[in-house]
Structure 1
Amino acid sequence: MASIELRGVSKRYPNGLYGVRDIDLKIRDGEFVIFLGPSGCGKSTTLRLIAGLESVTSGDLLIGDQSMVGVPPRDRDVAVVFQSYALYPHMTVAANMAFGLKMRKMPRREIATRVDRAADLLGLSHLLTRKPAALSGGQRQRVALGRAIVREPKVFLFDEPLSNLDAQLRAEMRLELVKLHRRLGRTIIHVTHDQIEAMTMGDRICIMREGRLIQSGPPLEVYANPVDTFVARFLSSPPMNLLPAHLEVDGDGLTVKLGEAIRLAVPERHVPAYRAVAGRPVTFGLRPEDIHEQPPAPTQQGFEVQVVALEALGAETNLVAQPTASGALPEITARLGRQARARTGETVTLYPDLLSMHLFDPETGAVIPRPPLDAPR
């Protein structure tokens, strides 16, 4: 069994600063979990605490129901793959993969069996006699993974292993890691600052900020229902549009007022949840893909913008625009289809899908709860 549990885990350094603070997290046996966050948020520190490369200052850390506090790394039955491949340049691929097993005095026949099995799994069988200098970046990364796989650990810990690869190789290796998880069925923790990796690879995302765990859940659930403005903006590219607004009572309904002239009717589905904050300043949030060139419904309201820039990405076009006649509102981004008709400098009308809107507290950044997007509408 390779479940992992962190109970109030903190790491405090001699200078009084915290690497991570009060982390409570349960990871199921066989789960693929992503630690996501900006540089310095504590995600790699948390991984190193699990690996035993850092000591826990307070709290408890369990692997398979056994406390690991004070247990050295070699006795935790975990394998770590770092950002740097750390391959021995004078050794062949086979020797690199076998090195850790040789140091553990494992029989030669067992070592050869494990290396061959891992090489076949990773498509390295034809490269076993080569040295690292003769390999591509993606092949070197596979060797580093193979070196971890031959140990047959309970848990794999990946610390940004794809960050040194180019865009195409990263995409290929993302898929390879997902396939690897399905074949091995082992618990995997993958640290990254890349939102695409987080959304496409893991069973669950754990978003961290300033040493704390901010939100945890399935990728699409976290994407659809962020707990605050940090998560809302960090977990997408382009990020969620966040605009200063005022929530006003409008008869039996509610209206979001943006700037001086834009007034958007809150959908009836959200009115009961938002009525308690009517009359207050709020932060209005809407993702770029929820802004359209054509109204999503016949009665949908729109607002005029002046197109500032267009990013043609092939399958889609990101439109950056400045709302007009609305005071000093920030620019917004709309993710449109490849057939987007707008041109830079033009004034066009955009239509928000307000069923996907969010409101946040402008002081704390916390989301103002409303029915989740996957609830019946």
Structure 2
Amino acid sequence: MSSIELDHVSKLYANGAYGVRDVDLTIAEGEFVIFLGPSGCGKSTTLRMIAGLEGITSGDLRIGGRSVTHVAPRDRNIAVVFQSYALYPHMSVRENMGFGLKMRGVARPVIEEKIKEAAGLLGLAPYLDRKPAALSGGQRQRVALGRAIVRDPVAFLLDEPLSNLDAQLRAEMRLELVKLHRRLGRTIVHVTHDQVEAMTMGDRICIMRDGRMIQVGKPLDVYADPVDTFVARFLATPPMNLLPARLEAQGDGLLVRGDGLSVEVPAMHRDAYAPATGREVIFGLRPEDIHEAPQPGFQRIDVTVVAMESLGVENILVGQIGQGNGAEGRPAEISARLSRHYTAAVGATVPLYVDARPMHLFDPETTRALPRPSLRVLGH
């Protein structure tokens, strides 16, 4: 059993500040879970508490059903892979991978067999006699993973292991980690601030802020139904567009009206949002739900182009809507993901078309999402 249970776990420092506050989470055996959040949110501290490298102020931590809150790190059978690799520069790859087992008094033939198996999994067999200085960043990270694998732990804890790699290597290692998880079938907890890693690797995402877990769920569920504006903006790049508005009645329907904004609420959401009629709201819509061409059901908005970002596979339009009548006195900015063939001159006012079905409304005071049926449940 390698389930990990955090039962209302907190970390309180001597200065009275909480590093982690009341985290209540169960990680199933064999699950790949991502801790995602900005710097200082408590994700690495939570990981270190699971490893035993940080003490727990309150709550209980169980691994495989056994309380390990006061158990030494070496007795938890957990392997940690750090951002810095932490390889011994004077040792070969083989020696680095086997060092921990050697210190535990494991017989040399057993060590060699485990090294051979791990090197095969990670493609390190040709490099076993090299020193870390002769390896690329991606190869060093594989060595750090190999050193963890040979220990045969019940779970792997990965603390931003890809952040030192360039973009191409990060993409390659993301895929390698997913493959490795499938082969080993072990529990993995992976800490990152990278939204792409979170969306593509994990079975579940745990989004943290100020030491608390804000939302936990499958990546696409969290993406489709963020619980508040923080999650809505943090989980994707470009982030969700969030615009101040007011929800008004219009005949039998509802209208979201703001500066330069007038969007009819789709019928599927009317009953859910009707209680907020007449209230100030925050209108949320992701950039990919704003289109360059009209289609049935799409609603037009006029946007003044501020910038065009060409990414090859797509163009990101950044534009302004309205006249700037809000509290800040300037037009609100929105982003739209458009086709790679779309062009528009900076300063031009262009029509774009909103698919309002994935829209969200948030409470301006609490920043929490107003409840509505999930499109994932509705099949959209």
**TM-score, with length taken from structure 2:** 0.97
Q: Deviations over 1:294-324 (max 9, x none)?
A: 1232x43201111110000000110000114
2:60 — aligned with what? 60
1:340 — aligned with what? 342
* Secondary structure, aligned partner of 2:71: coil
CA drift of 1:342 comes to: 2.1
| Structure 1 ranges of 4+ moved more than 6 A | none
2:359 — aligned with what? 357
CA drift of 1:31 comes to: 0.1
2:283 — aligned with what? 284
Q: Deviations over 1:247-276 (max 9, x none)?
A: 0011111000011x5321100110000000
1:271 — aligned with what? 270
2:301 — aligned with what? 303
Structure 1 position 368 matched with structure 2 position 370: yes
1:11 — aligned with what? 11
Quick one: which amino acid aligns to residue 81 of structure 1?
A: V
2:134 — aligned with what? 134
CA drift of 1:113 comes to: 0.3
Distance 2:138 2:367 in 1: 40
Distance 1:85 1:374 in 2: 39
Structure 1 position 20 matched with structure 2 position 20: yes
Q: Quick check: 1:244–1:329 contact (8 Å CA) kept in 2?
A: no
Q: How high is the sequence identity, in percent, across the aligned residues?
A: 67
CA drift of 1:286 comes to: 0.3
Distance 1:13 1:29 in 2: 31
CA drift of 1:337 comes to: 1.1
1:71 — aligned with what? 71
Q: Quick check: 1:10–1:22 contact (8 Å CA) kept in 2?
A: yes
1:147 — aligned with what? 147
Q: Deviations over 1:42-77 (max 9, x none)?
A: 000000000000111111110000001110000000
CA drift of 1:346 comes to: 1.5
* Secondary structure, aligned partner of 1:207: strand
CA drift of 1:343 comes to: 2.4
* Equivalence map 1:43-192=2 (5 Å): 43-192=43-192
Q: Quick check: 2:261–2:322 contact (8 Å CA) kept in 1?
A: no
CA drift of 1:375 comes to: 2.4
Q: Quick check: 1:228–1:360 contact (8 Å CA) kept in 2?
A: yes
Q: Quick check: 2:324–2:332 contact (8 Å CA) kept in 1?
A: no
Superposition CA RMSD, Å = 1.0
CA drift of 1:325 comes to: 4.9
Q: Quick check: 1:4–1:26 contact (8 Å CA) kept in 2?
A: yes
Count of paired positions: 375
* Secondary structure, aligned partner of 1:130: coil
Structure 1 position 318 matched with structure 2 position 299: no
Quick one: structure 1 residues 296 and 27, their matched pair in 2 at CA, closer, same or farther if it must change by over 3 Å? farther
Distance 1:325 1:45 in 2: 45
* Secondary structure, aligned partner of 1:30: coil
Distance 1:286 1:342 in 2: 21
CA drift of 1:93 comes to: 0.3
Distance 1:86 1:140 in 2: 9
CA drift of 1:25 comes to: 0.2
2:34 — aligned with what? 34
Distance 2:295 2:65 in 1: 51
* Secondary structure, aligned partner of 1:374: helix
2:195 — aligned with what? 195
Q: Quick check: 2:33–2:203 contact (8 Å CA) kept in 1?
A: yes
* Secondary structure, aligned partner of 1:302: strand
Distance 2:80 2:178 in 1: 17
Distance 1:179 1:329 in 2: 46
Q: Deviations over 1:148-200 (max 9, x none)?
A: 00000000000000000000000000000000000000000000000000000
Quick one: which amino acid aligns to residue 358 of structure 2?
A: S
CA drift of 1:329 comes to: 3.6
Distance 1:371 1:284 in 2: 16
Distance 2:315 2:354 in 1: 16
Distance 1:263 1:284 in 2: 11
